[in-house]
């Protein structure tokens, strides 16, 4: 029903020009328009949900953008958006920024991702990588010094490592650096960074010696050009993310505010989002792991 309905490269609709955001304008400016921004990882889910919602509600308008989890929270906390996609929980400083504008983020978990480490499908020397090897490649001290594969593992070739990854506004970057390097934000900086995961896909797919990481859905959409690596011998699959066996599994969220929920169209969309996640295979077909039905029921009951 939902397969291949979303396209990763863009947004589902174009927003009309909106006015300046003031400290008292707490949400989106156009009447009836639902504006969503933030995580590139959550984007495919929210985009698919928006398409289904607009199909079921002719005349409704939902715009989904991508600026990274951090960029999304900046927009949300300044009142530019109704809903913020996030691949990590909101930070204390983001809560403070929201509070300055009278905005209270409500966290709604929508599923689970298996952050995926990838190479080009043309890579013929690696299929598994350890967390220690990932740390050797991505640690801050690796910058300018670890530049070839055989420096990390002598069984790998004397070939340059081409590195691609999310930028510092990304929740994926925050999660990966915390899990692999032991500190959120701690990373070498000499790599090709982008908040657009499609740029990472293209970069890695075109270089047999490249390495990158992003959400599982982007790998599943590009399996013809990419190869997913197992991490410590465990494959990045929805089943392993659900069981907890995969070490780079992580929760996915959307955030909304009480003021936004007072808008009938926003409340209708949020309820539709959670009910669709509960009642259909959309989350699974996008490439992520849904939660148990009773968890969605509990979240819906709290709204």
| Domain-located, residue 28 | no
- Pick from 177, 201, 235: which residue ends a domain? 235
Which CATH number does the domain housing residue 76 bear?
3.40.190.10
103 and 130 within one domain: no
270 and 231 within one domain: no
- Pick from 235, 259, 277: which residue ends a domain? 235
How far apart (Å, rounded) are the C-alpha atoms in residues 68 and 171? 7
| Domain-located, residue 11 | no
94 and 37 within one domain: yes
227 and 143 within one domain: yes
121 and 107 within one domain: no
126 and 108 within one domain: no
Q: What pTM does this model have?
A: 0.85
| Domain-located, residue 63 | yes
120 and 218 within one domain: yes
225 and 149 within one domain: yes
- Pick from 235, 262, 282: which residue ends a domain? 235
| Domain-located, residue 218 | yes
| Domain-located, residue 173 | yes
Q: How much is the pLDDT for 32?
A: 83
129 and 187 within one domain: yes
> Which of 34, 30, 50 lies closest to 42 in space, CA to CA?
50
Q: How many domains does the chain have?
A: 2
41 and 49 in contact (C-beta within 8 Å)?
no
130 and 53 within one domain: no
| Domain-located, residue 1 | no
Q: How much is the pLDDT for 38?
A: 96
142 and 43 within one domain: no
- What are the backbone dihedrals phi and psi of residue 149, each rounded to the nearest 5 degrees, phi first? -60, -40
**Tokens encoding 265:** 């169209």
How far apart (Å, rounded) are the C-alpha atoms in residues 29 and 173? 31
| Domain-located, residue 152 | yes
* Residue span of the structural domain in which 170 resides: 116-235
Render each residue's pLDDT in the chain as its tens digit; 303 residues.
444 444 443 333 333 223 333 333 444 445 689 999 999 999 999 999 999 999 999 999 999 999 999 999 999 999 999 999 999 999 999 999 999 999 999 999 999 999 999 999 999 999 999 999 999 999 999 999 999 999 999 999 999 999 999 999 999 999 999 999 999 999 999 999 998 999 999 999 999 999 999 999 999 999 999 999 999 999 999 999 999 999 999 999 999 999 999 999 999 999 999 999 999 999 999 999 999 999 999 999 999
60: number of Cβ within 10 Å: 17
Query: Helices then strands (H, E): number in the chain?
Result: 12, 12
292 and 201 within one domain: no
Q: How much is the pLDDT for 22?
A: 32
How far apart (Å, rounded) are the C-alpha atoms in residues 52 and 271? 13
**Tokens encoding 277:** 């996640």
| Domain-located, residue 224 | yes
206: number of Cβ within 10 Å: 13
How far apart (Å, rounded) are the C-alpha atoms in residues 296 and 270? 12
């Amino acid at each position: 029903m939902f397969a291949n309905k979303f396209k990763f490269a863009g947004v589902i609709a174009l927003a009309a020009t909106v006015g300046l955001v003031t400290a008292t304008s707490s949400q989106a400016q156009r009447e009836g328009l639902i504006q969503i921004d933030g995580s590139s990882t959550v984007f495919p889910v929210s985009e698919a949900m928006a398409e289904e919602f607009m199909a079921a509600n002719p005349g409704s308008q939902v715009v989904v953008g991508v600026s990274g989890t951090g960029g999304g929270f900046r927009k949300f906390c300044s009142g530019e958006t109704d809903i913020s996609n996030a691949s990590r929980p909101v930070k204390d400083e983001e809560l403070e920024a929201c509070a300055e504008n009278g905005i209270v983020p409500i966290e709604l978990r929508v599923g689970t991702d298996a952050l995926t480490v990838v190479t080009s499908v043309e890579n013929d020397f690696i299929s598994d990588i350890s967390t220690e090897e990932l740390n050797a490649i991505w640690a801050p001290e690796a910058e300018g010094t670890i530049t070839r594969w055989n420096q990390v593992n002598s069984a790998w070739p004397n070939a340059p490592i081409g590195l691609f990854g999310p930028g510092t506004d990304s929740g994926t970057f925050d999660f990966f650096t915390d899990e692999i390097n032991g500190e959120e934000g701690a990373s070498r900086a000499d790599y090709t960074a982008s908040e657009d995961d499609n740029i990472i896909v293209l970069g890695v797919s075109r270089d047999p010696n490249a390495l990158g990481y992003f959400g599982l859905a982007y790998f599943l959409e590009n399996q013809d050009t990419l190869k997913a690596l197992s991490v410590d011998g465990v494959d990045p699959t929805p089943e392993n993310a659900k069981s907890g066996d995969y070490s780079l599994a992580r929760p996915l969220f959307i955030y909304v505010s009480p003021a936004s929920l007072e808008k009938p169209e926003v409340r209708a969309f949020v309820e539709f989002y959670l009910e669709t996640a509960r009642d259909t295979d959309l989350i699974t077909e996008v490439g992520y792991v849904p939660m148990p039905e009773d968890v969605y029921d509990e979240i819906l009951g709290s709204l």
